[in-house]
Structure formats: C-alpha cells, structure tokens
Amino acid sequence: MNITNAGVRGYNPTGVVIHNDAGSNGANTGFYNSWLPNHDPENGFAHVYIASDGRLQASDFSNMAWHCANSYGNANYASWEVCQSEGDLSQFLRNEQAVLDDVAKYMKQWGLTPNRDTVKLHQELSATSCPRRSVEAHGGTVESCRSYFIAELNKRLTGRNTNTNTEKRKYKMFAIYSDGSNKQLYILNVATGKENKITNDERKAILADNVMKEMVVDFGKANRTSLGKSNEALKKFR
C-alpha cells in the first residue's frame, strides 16, 4: 500500500528510525489514513504508523521516505511513528511496544542486527526533539533511549539480552504520578504499560526516599542501598 512515497529505493533498508508523532490521543491510524493523502510528503512522513487502533503502512519499504530531514537517512532507513505520543502515557507505551514488535519482524526479514549502526533516533540525524517522549520515558538521553530500543529489539530477535558494554545494566523504569491531590499515587511500568495504585505504606516509603512524581529507577546492585525502603516498595511492580 502506498498512501504516499518519496521515490523507489530499490534495495532493502540498511537501518531503522523510530519516531514519536507528537500527536494527541486522536492521532490514530484512522486519522493518518485520512490526513496523509492531503499532506505534502516533502514535509515529512514515515513508512509505518502504529496507534491504539492498529497499524498503517503509509508507504512500502521498497520506497524512500522523507522522515528524518537527513538525505542518507531518508534514502536508507525504514521509519516507524509511535503515534499518540503526546496523549495518554500508558497508551503511548503500548504503541511503542507494538512498534518494537514490528521493527523486530522486519529487521529479521532484512537480516539486520540491532546495534548503533542499524537503530537510530531522529535526534541523531537532524535538529529535533523527536522522539521526545520515548527519550523521556527511557532514561532522558539519546544514549539511554537508543540502548533501550536496541536491547528490546535484540530480546525479540534472540530471546535474550545482548547489551554492549554501555548497555550492561538492566533498567526497570517506572513513572510515579498522583491524581492531582497527591493523596493517591499511581505507578506505571514503563516497559509494559501496566498501571497500579500505590498503597499508603508504599507511598510513604517511596516519598521517604525523595522519589518524586516521575523517575527512572535502576534495580542494579549499585543502587540497591541508595533506594532503601522504596526498593522494597517497588519490588512487586517489577
């Protein structure tokens, strides 16, 4: 299916780029299916859009796409949009997991191994904050987010983690936020999108360790002592 395209590539992609669409909850595949035909493709589009209502292939992977404002990236990399990235966080994270599933499927088909040469963030290729929310959710830096994507893709392809030297430590990431009153806290497992209420005792233990509304928690040996009571409080959410 080709809703739009930027010309024929003529060979398999040599890498992938994962984007965030900066869209609200309404920016689903139905929206993009209607919007893209009336959108100037030179202003930017991705090969695939994944949202709460499924997957949209906007252009065949045999085509190029204007997706990263970088001539090499546009010509050689396949592109995915994690949609609804400025909407509900738990839905965005589910969309992100679906994108990683899809990316892994095609990387396997193209014989690509997930690494720093084959997995790119838009920020690496041009001046942009994209994929802002993914970066925010996975450590706050391009390095941490890219490492997360690479580890997740390798896990899907091999069934095990194949982290490089800078990716050795496993991270469990959680967002903690309130209902607005600060009387009820919720914890969201960033990797799975699973949400749970935090009990009052757990709330006290977490706040006693000065863990604020949003955080990234490393459960590696190095931080077990510093996490103190909050480490115990968070164990059941792993």
Q: Which residues pair with 119 in a beta bridge?
A: 16
Lowest mean pLDDT among 41-45, 51-55, 81-85: 41-45
**Mean pLDDT over the full length of the chain:** 77
Lowest mean pLDDT among 15-24, 50-59, 70-79, 205-214: 205-214
Q: Read off the pTM.
A: 0.65
pLDDT of residue 225: 27
Q: Which residue has the higher pLDDT, 131 or 192?
A: 131
The share of the chain scoring above pLDDT 70, in percent, equals 65
pLDDT at 86 over 50: yes
Task: Encode pLDDT of 7-43 as tens digits.
Answer: 777 889 999 999 999 899 999 999 999 888 888 776 7
| CATH code that applies to domain 15-166 | 3.40.80.10
Q: Would you kindly state where each structural domain of the chain is located, as residue ranges?
A: 15-166, 174-237
pLDDT of residue 218: 33
Task: Encode pLDDT of 92-135 as tens digits.
Answer: 999 999 999 999 999 999 999 999 999 999 988 888 989 999 99
